[in-house]
Amino acid sequence: MGQKPTLKNVAQLAGVSEMTASRVLRGVGDVSDRTKEKVKTAARELGYVPNRIAGGLASRSVNLVAVIVPSIRNYVFPEVLTGISDALAESELQPVFGVSNYDLEQEERVINDMLSWQPQGIILAGLHHTEAAQKMLEAANIPIIEIMDCDGDPIDMCIGISHRQAGQDMARLIMERGYRKIGFVGTQMPLDFRAQKRLEGFKSELAQNDMQLSDEIYYDARSSIAKGRDMTVTLMERSPDLDCLYYSSDLLAVGGLMHCMTSGLSIPDDIALAGFNGLDMLDGLPTRLATTHVPRYEIGLRAAKAILARKENPDMPLKDKMQLLDISTEMADTL
Amino acid sequence: MGQKPTLKNVAQLAGVSEMTASRVLRGVGDVSDRTKEKVKTAARELGYVPNRIAGGLASRSVNLVAVIVPSIRNYVFPEVLTGISDALAESELQPVFGVSNYDLEQEERVINDMLSWQPQGIILAGLHHTEAAQKMLEAANIPIIEIMDCDGDPIDMCIGISHRQAGQDMARLIMERGYRKIGFVGTQMPLDFRAQKRLEGFKSELAQNDMQLSDEIYYDARSSIAKGRDMTVTLMERSPDLDCLYYSSDLLAVGGLMHCMTSGLSIPDDIALAGFNGLDMLDGLPTRLATTHVPRYEIGLRAAKAILARKENPDMPLKDKMQLLDISTEMADTL
DNA sequence: GTGAAAGCGCTAACAC
DNA sequence: GTGTTAGCGCTTTCAC
């Protein structure tokens, strides 16, 4: 198990030059079938694995796309990543994932790390970055796709939804249904700009109709069903006259739903519920939860395709600078 | 936005040699405070981002750990990845994630890709690989940590649980509780070796007691709550006398639970349910589901630490070759 | 404390 | 169809 075999070793064993071996292994240029065979056999025999570090340096390009998301445990992002992977699967580009933990400083570090690998493009969640990160991205001279959130100005290109709009839409529906004592349940507010924007949109729409939230409750941790249930209990004890609850995420809302099911509350007569995301999980529940469907997979798919498109045609088509995808608000059984 | 600045540019602007600039930027060697300052200022001014491709080639080492999992959408793996990230966060090593889609051929391709980046170590799920993949891994001459599944022989080191044991344990408990007409609900059987091993363990334990599964149902797709509900309905219509259902995953079992809740079945009197994984999600449900708790985060944590440890001390301590973690079977309300 | 020379393993560009 | 030359951007080594 001595030293790892290099292209030189393969070339020597095959009795050809390094260049020829390189051509065969990469499948480029014209090489006779006979030499092809010799090189391939030699490579197999040695268990040769090309060194992309060297290859990347020589060709001054690596087929990487950097992808940075706030969290990987949040059910939302794995679907976005899947969209990205699927879109890149047919190309020679490869995604590399990094996580920022909803922390702008950490995001900056991750961006720097990623950039140091000289990727072909970068996809990252959100429009908010540190000043230094912003500068690095602008200077990188590669396609930058900011995803998920389109309420603001992208550095380069933006693919996502309007979270403000999502909040407004839900507020309007809730008011149309006649609810008047509305409570809000959220987590991770200071960390999650998108949840904040939904809440802002929600509140502003209420205000337009001379209404406001009757009560709000926040918890600074990861969303979970259990947390949603506990917060619902606390909030309803504190404000028993609430007739509708808007949650910052489906996971929390499912917790509320579970609470209602066990405590015998009738939905939506005793209390109405609404979440956000449109998680697949909702399909399996006994009651269909009102929510806003977000095309997560589609966002990932488009972001990756945008990078692919830019590789072909480096002149940015300005009209597509901002791709605002449709969201659909579902009333379902709980509103 | 011309050419990306290189170390040379930084050195020139700072009026020092490339070598000195390199030392400052990496924080190694003795450099006077005055030159340090000059270099740092120059780097900042140019927006210099080091080229790790070049650095890696020169130093013949990159601080990467390759991590390959079958899926990122399965709720299990994000937690493993989080454990890995957390363990590596304090080190200078960085994880790179790849996905095999429960496909051995694709896994082989991903392993090859990963290895071509010359990582310091590799963490991958399962003990089953193609012959070619096996060879590449053996030849790589770096720590190989196979995680999740410890029923078999690792290439190098193995950290996980015995899925066979998990199946056996659950079968024993179910029999102890007096259930006699047992059904099984599973997905993705041919693709998921670990689910297979659980089922084997489960069946063999039944056989030990002269029992066998009364009915089984499989579906070849991603697990989901909705799928679990639908399959439960189908199975119970087909075999109405079943008194207990064992699911290949919690997600499916939750679907069964939802079905029972809506159709007014009493648990565990009408039907008992058991899942596998111990997902956090279960904490929020109205009924506590019987399940096997798997220390997913811990597995990731240990795998990463094993690689860190090997960097310090390259002589493999053979006694730790196999780290079998404890699993706990929870009876809860549904058994 | 700093610098000069050499080279990591590969590929672009050109010659033959 | 194949080989030669040069060099990617950085770090190692050794000299001063």
* Mean pLDDT value across residues B143-161: 96
CATH class of residue range A163-294: alpha beta
pLDDT at A1: 46
Which structure tokens are listed for B197?
């091993």
Report percent pLDDT > 90 for chain B: 91
Radius of gyration of chain B measured on its C-alpha atoms: 26
Average pLDDT over residues B302-320: 82
Give the pLDDT of residue B1: 46
CATH number at A1-48: 1.10.260.40
CA pair distance B241, A210, nearest whole angstrom: 58
The CA-atom distances, in angstroms, between A229 and each of B10, B81, B224 are: 56, 27, 21
Q: CA gyration radius for chain A? A: 26
Q: Is residue B316 over pLDDT 80? A: no
In DSSP notation, B297-314 reads HHHHHHHHHHHHHHHH--
Is residue B46 within 8 Å of B11, Cβ to Cβ? no
Domain boundaries, chain A: 1-48, 163-294
In angstroms, rounded to a whole number, what is the distance separating the alpha carbons of residues A65 and A118?
9
Q: Is the CB of A200 under 7 A from strand C?
A: no
Determine the Cα–Cα distance for residues B92 and B90; give it in Å rounded to an integer. 7
Q: What is the pLDDT of residue B280?
A: 94
How far apart CA A201 and CA A150 sit, in angstroms, is 13
CB contact under 8 A, B96 and A96: yes
Helix axes A76-89, A296-312, angle to 10 degrees: 30
B1, B81, B284: residue with CB nearest A255: B284
Contacts of B312 (CB under 8 A, 6+ apart): none
Q: Say whether B225 and A52 touch across the interface (CB within 8 A).
A: no
Q: Please check whether strand C approaches the CB of A17 to within 7 Å.
A: no
pLDDT exceeds cutoff 70 at B72: yes
> Which regions of chain A are under pLDDT 50?
1
* Contacting residues of A for B79, CB less than 8 Å apart: 73
Residue B77 pLDDT > 90 = yes
Give tens-digit pLDDT for B252-299. Answer: 999 999 999 999 999 999 999 999 999 999 999 999 999 999 999 999
- Residue B97: phi and psi, rounded to 5, are -100, 140
pLDDT in tens, B199-236: 999 999 999 999 999 999 999 888 999 999 999 999 99
Q: Which pLDDT belongs to residue A321?
A: 87
C-beta atoms of B47 and A136 within 8 A:
yes
Q: Is the CB of A17 under 7 A from strand D?
A: yes
B55 in contact with nucleic chain D (CB within 7 A): yes
Residue A259: predicted pLDDT: 96
pLDDT of residue A107: 96
- Residue A205: Cβ within 10 Å count: 21
* Lookup: tokens for A161: 């939804």
CA B315 to chain centre: 25
